[in-house]
Amino acid sequence: MPQTWMITGANRGIGLAITIELLRRGDRVIAAARNPWGGALAELAAEHPAALIPVELDVTSDASIAAAKEALAGQAIDVLLNNAGLYGPRDRQSGLDVDFDAWREVFEVNVYAPIRVAQAFLPNVEAGQGRKIATISSRMGSIAANPGNALIYRSSKSAVNMAMVVFGNSVRARDVSVMLFHPGWVQTDMGGSGADITPAESASGLIRTIDASGMAEANSFRDYTGEAITW
């Protein structure tokens, strides 16, 4: 039976790759982005007019989230995927020299936004059959496996892990499974061309793992293959 996924940051990178894979297999995708009508999403919408639902969404804006919530009122969502993310500057991310303005900006996107989105669209997820909320985190957020550097990005991913687990505990009684994923080191603008895997490889692994997950995997932190990651 076809599923309905809502994906933030669906216009590029991993989000776009997941969107492509889901449409290919016959699912419906609510593609959320600041400009969901341009670039690759426009081409996909032309190819899949009934299956791709573009939604304008700035995940850092309460007003934008409220407008998207109103536009999607009554729309069941099987899987809500918090994918939109920001790395921050390539320098000034050390313990001895950090760009505090950039740190705040990264937290807006990587930490506050997933909670904003999850709270706003929880009724839609509860109306779906999948009842899953997944967030793209990173192995770099693991405190147990932290070699240093990238203070801004690492701390944001550690923080979103904690935030989503607290949220997950809040919705466990509603039979909504909240999960966190490391997508792999992916060949995107963020990961760079020398990364280990392609967006398509990450996307197929994430979809397969999310498909196979339920309440037994609630509040888990795993990679795209389903392997557990230490917190």
Average pLDDT over residues 84-88: 96
Q: What is the pLDDT of residues 34-47, one digit of tens each?
A: 999 999 999 999 99
- Mean pLDDT confidence for 198-204: 94
Q: Dihedral sign, CA of 155, 180, 165, 23?
A: positive
- Give dist(CA 89, CA 85) in Å, integer: 13
Q: pTM here? A: 0.96
d(CA 123, CA 28): 18
What pLDDT score was predicted for residue 1? 85
User: Residue length, the chain?
Assistant: 231
pLDDT over 80 at 194, yes or no: no
Helices (H), the chain: 13-24, 39-47, 62-71, 100-107, 113-126, 151-171, 199-211
Model confidence at 191, pLDDT cuts 50, 70, 90, reads low
Residues with a known catalytic role = 153
Which residues, 6+ apart, have CB-to-CB distance to 51 below 8 Å? 23, 26, 27, 28, 29
Span 97-118, average pLDDT: 98
What pLDDT band is residue 87 in, cutting at 50, 70 and 90? very high
- How confident is the prediction for the chain on average, in pLDDT? 95
CB atoms under 10 Å from CB of 210, counted, come to 25
